[in-house]
């Protein structure tokens, strides 16, 4: 630790700890991004606490190396993560940072608030994400003040990648079981899961259906999200198209439940990024709710985690500052 540095000289780290990857930015208090790093999953639930912590530290270390700095130069670390560090749950990252020599203050923030500030500097507005899961937040005065859905595969995440994959699996099962309409999703699901006819187990079911049932129940429920792309690919199929339309309506319904007027809507996640019926229905329903809602797409929460880090350091990021920070982060990512 470099004890001679003043707080003004110490650097700030913003972390976007996602389920697929972890990304870190090294920042000055003037909003310049000195370094960027990327590593594996930073979600302790899906990756395990030790691996998630190690991945986040690796991303931070890459950002430091890119700038020729070390752990002692960092005074504040702000991590945007799912669940954003409920009291007593932040140990997984704190311990990993301490093992790597960091003695900085650690603050957790919402990954959805990071997504929001990746799209805008406005303090009041909304963000919706639909990836594996789905949820909506409302921001007020730069803080998260409301959340709709994000309840997980068993209780919610309506319109998410999991929801789409689950519906694709149901459509295939119901087709093979004779309870549903024939659909192109059946062959697509069977191929995606590498299903081949199995010997009959005496239940009187079609052998393909029996093999499909057994394969699905071998995995974790959330793994059905891998089937979501099949619904988009088969969008000309009436069953698949109906699933996409319903997903768009469900996501719009969640936004409507959060909506209290004013502010932009930042949109993220792989599901809403796909062109076609789902995105079209969602956009139509949002416009019907309020034609004045400005929709801003955002690829990830990297820029927003940098904004949140600066805000926690007492630096307000206005629209011109947001634009300068975005350019600086983009340049660091490209190096």
Task: Measure the CA angle with vertex 96, ends 5 and 80; round to 5°.
Answer: 80
Please name the residue that has the structure tokens 């949820």: 135
pLDDT of residue 88: 53
Averaged pLDDT for residues 193-204: 74
Fold assignment, 123-263: Nucleotidyltransferase; domain 5 (3.30.420)
Structure confidence by residue, pLDDT tens digits, 91-130: 889 999 999 999 889 999 999 999 999 999 999 999 999 9
Across the chain, mean pLDDT equals: 91
Output the CA–CA distances (angstroms, integers) from residue 63 to 69, 70, 147, in the order listed.
9, 9, 32
DSSP 25-62: EEE-TTS-EEEEEEES---HHHH-HHHHHHHHHHHHHH
Q: Where do the structural domains in the chain lie, given as residue ranges? A: 11-122+300-334, 123-263
pLDDT of residue 167: 98
Equal CATH topology for 11-122+300-334 and 123-263: yes
CATH class of 11-122+300-334: alpha beta
**For residue 49, pLDDT beyond 90:** no
Residues β-bridged to residue 125: 139
* pTM score, whole prediction: 0.89
pLDDT of residue 54: 93
**For residue 10, pLDDT beyond 90:** no
Averaged pLDDT for residues 203-225: 89
pLDDT of residue 86: 47
pLDDT of residue 3: 34
Nearest to 116 by CA among 327, 281, 328, 317: 317
Output the CA–CA distances (angstroms, integers) from residue 158 to 66, 180, 244, in the order listed.
40, 21, 12
């Amino acid at each position: 630790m470099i004890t001679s540095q003043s707080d003004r000289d110490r650097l700030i780290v913003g972390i976007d700890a996602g389920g697929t990857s972890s990304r870190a930015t090294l920042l000055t208090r003037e909003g310049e991004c000195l370094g960027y790093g990327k590593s594996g999953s930073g979600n302790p639930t899906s990756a395990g606490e030790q691996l998630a912590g190690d991945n986040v530290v690796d991303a931070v270390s890459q950002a430091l190396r890119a700038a020729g700095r070390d752990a002692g130069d960092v005074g504040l670390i702000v991590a945007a993560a799912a669940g954003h560090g409920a009291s007593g749950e932040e140990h997984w990252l704190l311990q990993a940072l301490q093992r790597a020599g960091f003695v900085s203050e650690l603050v957790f923030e919402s990954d959805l608030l990071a997504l929001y500030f990746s799209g805008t500097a406005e303090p009041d507005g909304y963000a919706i994400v639909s990836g594996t899961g789905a949820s909506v937040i409302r921001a007020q005065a730069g803080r998260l003040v409301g959340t709709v859905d994000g309840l997980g595969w068993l209780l919610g995440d309506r319109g998410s990648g999991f929801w789409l994959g689950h519906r694709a699996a149901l459509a295939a099962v119901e087709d093979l079981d004779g309870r549903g309409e024939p659909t192109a999703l059946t062959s697509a699901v069977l191929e995606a899961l590498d299903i081949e006819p199995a010997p009959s187990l005496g239940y009187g079911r079609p052998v393909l259906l029996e093999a499909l049932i057994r394969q699905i129940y071998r995995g974790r429920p959330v793994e059905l999200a891998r089937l979501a792309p099949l619904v988009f690919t088969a969008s000309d199929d009436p069953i698949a198209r109906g699933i996409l339309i319903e997903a768009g309506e469900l996501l719009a319904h969640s936004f409507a439940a959060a909506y209290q007027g004013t502010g932009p809507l930042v949109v993220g996640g792989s599901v809403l990024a796909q062109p076609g019926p789902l995105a079209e229905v969602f956009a139509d329903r949002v416009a019907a709710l309020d034609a004045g809602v400005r929709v801003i797409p955002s690829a990830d929460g990297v820029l927003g985690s940098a904004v949140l880090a600066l805000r926690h350091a007492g630096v307000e990021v206005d629209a011109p500052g947001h634009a300068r920070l975005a350019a600086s982060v983009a340049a660091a990512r490209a190096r």
